[in-house]
């Protein structure tokens, strides 16, 4: 009788306790002071609230789960080795070359053009392509317009880029920097700050609000030119196999948390960018603003890369992007 009472009490207690949360691992490219990290953490908070604590999202910055290789994260997510990934379009081009469409040089004039593509038919097409690689894109975030910094001299004309050793994130940017006469060197972001510090490379290109300020690039770079030469969206994706295991109600909870988290991430990134130039000046950076004519010289110089990568992406996709981007203007 005593044994039966103990078993009954134990069973009742077990039923009363909440089930242990399922841990999901989320990998992203950069450091834990960035808007990437804030967006990832916000997703975890919102998902826990939506699901009553059924899921616990652990965030791993600096591509830790891929051994520091930011290009590998998407491939690992596609085969289910990583649950969730927050990465940029340019970092998945080895897996899906079509994603380079977002970052073609001088495609976008402003945020309105960007939003039309990420939230329209172009974004839908990219989601379809990523699904073919085993990743369900939940929502689009923002790395932002990539601006050039260096430690050697102001950049006002394409000729000023000649010979500069420039850290780049992916293959398309190697071609762009080569067009400009620079010496591009692809490396992981985790290696970049010390490389800038030690003079292994002279400069880099990244968005102001999402990377340059939170990663304190201004401590090792003297000059910045806001040339808006390429835009880089983020996406929050989940392994398709894990997504397919969920019922519709759980999928809806994940979707809601992702939409809200990435809207928040875009908001704080754009705010940090808007305030960024003044802040960088306060930190001692020399800012070179370009006239429309000066900007056109960079656009003309990088057209070979635009054409080359348009072929890789595909004419139909490039047309879809350019039509939507131009319609926003």
**pLDDT tens-digit readout, 16-46:** 445 689 999 999 999 999 999 999 999 999 9
Q: 220: pLDDT confidence band, cut at 50, 70 and 90? A: very high
Give the count of beta carbons closer than 10 Å to the beta carbon of residue 16. Answer: 7
pLDDT, mean of residues 71-95: 94
Distance CA 210, CA 175 (A): 24
The pLDDT, as a whole number, for residue 17 is: 40
247-279 per-position pLDDT tens digit: 999 999 999 999 999 999 999 999 999 999 999
Mean pLDDT over each residue of the chain, to the nearest integer: 92
The pLDDT, as a whole number, for residue 190 is: 87
Res 283 pLDDT > 90:
yes
pLDDT, mean of residues 134-140: 98
Grouping H, G, I as helix, E, B as strand and the rest as coil, residue 152 is coil
Q: 12: pLDDT confidence band, cut at 50, 70 and 90? A: very low
The pLDDT, as a whole number, for residue 329 is: 55
pLDDT, mean of residues 82-87: 98
Res 14 pLDDT > 60:
no
Distance CA 262, CA 265 (A): 5
Hey, what are 271's tokens? 């705010």
**CA separation, residue 97 to residues 87, 224, 275, 325 (Å):** 15, 29, 33, 19
- In CATH, the number for domain 22-326 is 3.40.190.170
Q: Where are the beta strands (DSSP E) in the chain?
A: 22-28, 55-60, 84-88, 135-150, 165-168, 183-186, 203-206, 223-239, 286-287
The pLDDT, as a whole number, for residue 20 is: 85
pLDDT, mean of residues 111-139: 96
Res 196 pLDDT > 90:
yes
Distance CA 230, CA 145 (A): 6
């Amino acid at each position: 009788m005593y044994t039966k009472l103990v078993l009954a009490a134990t069973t009742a207690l077990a039923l009363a306790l909440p089930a242990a949360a399922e841990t999901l691992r989320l990998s992203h490219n950069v450091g834990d002071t960035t808007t990437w990290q804030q967006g990832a953490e916000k997703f975890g908070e919102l998902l826990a609230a939506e699901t009553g604590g059924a899921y616990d999202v652990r965030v791993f910055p600096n591509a830790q789960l891929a051994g520091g290789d930011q290009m590998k994260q998407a491939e690992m997510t596609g085969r289910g080795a990583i649950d969730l990934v927050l990465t940029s379009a340019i970092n998945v081009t080895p897996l899906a070359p079509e994603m380079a469409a977002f970052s073609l040089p001088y495609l976008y004039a402003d945020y309105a053009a960007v939003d039309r593509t990420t939230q329209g038919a172009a974004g839908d097409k990219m989601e379809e392509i990523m699904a073919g690689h085993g990743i369900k894109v939940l929502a689009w975030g923002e790395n932002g317009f990539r601006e050039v910094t260096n430690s050697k001299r102001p950049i006002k004309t394409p000729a000023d880029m000649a010979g500069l050793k420039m850290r780049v994130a992916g293959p398309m940017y190697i071609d762009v920097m080569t067009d400009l006469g620079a010496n591009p060197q692809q490396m992981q972001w985790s290696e970049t700050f010390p490389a800038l510090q030690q003079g292994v490379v002279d400069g880099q290109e990244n968005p102001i609000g999402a990377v340059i300020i939170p990663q304190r690039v201004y401590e090792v770079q003297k000059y910045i030119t806001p040339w808006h030469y390429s835009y880089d969206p983020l996406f929050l994706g989940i392994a398709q196999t894990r997504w397919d295991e969920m019922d519709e109600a759980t999928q809806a909870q994940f979707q809601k948390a992702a939409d809200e988290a990435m809207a928040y991430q875009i908001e704080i990134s754009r705010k940090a960018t808007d305030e960024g130039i003044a802040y960088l000046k306060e930190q001692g950076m020399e800012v070179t603003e370009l006239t429309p004519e000066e900007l056109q010289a960079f656009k003309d110089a990088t057209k070979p890369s635009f054409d080359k990568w348009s072929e890789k992406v595909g004419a139909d996709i490039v047309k879809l992007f350019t039509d939507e981007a131009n319609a926003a203007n």
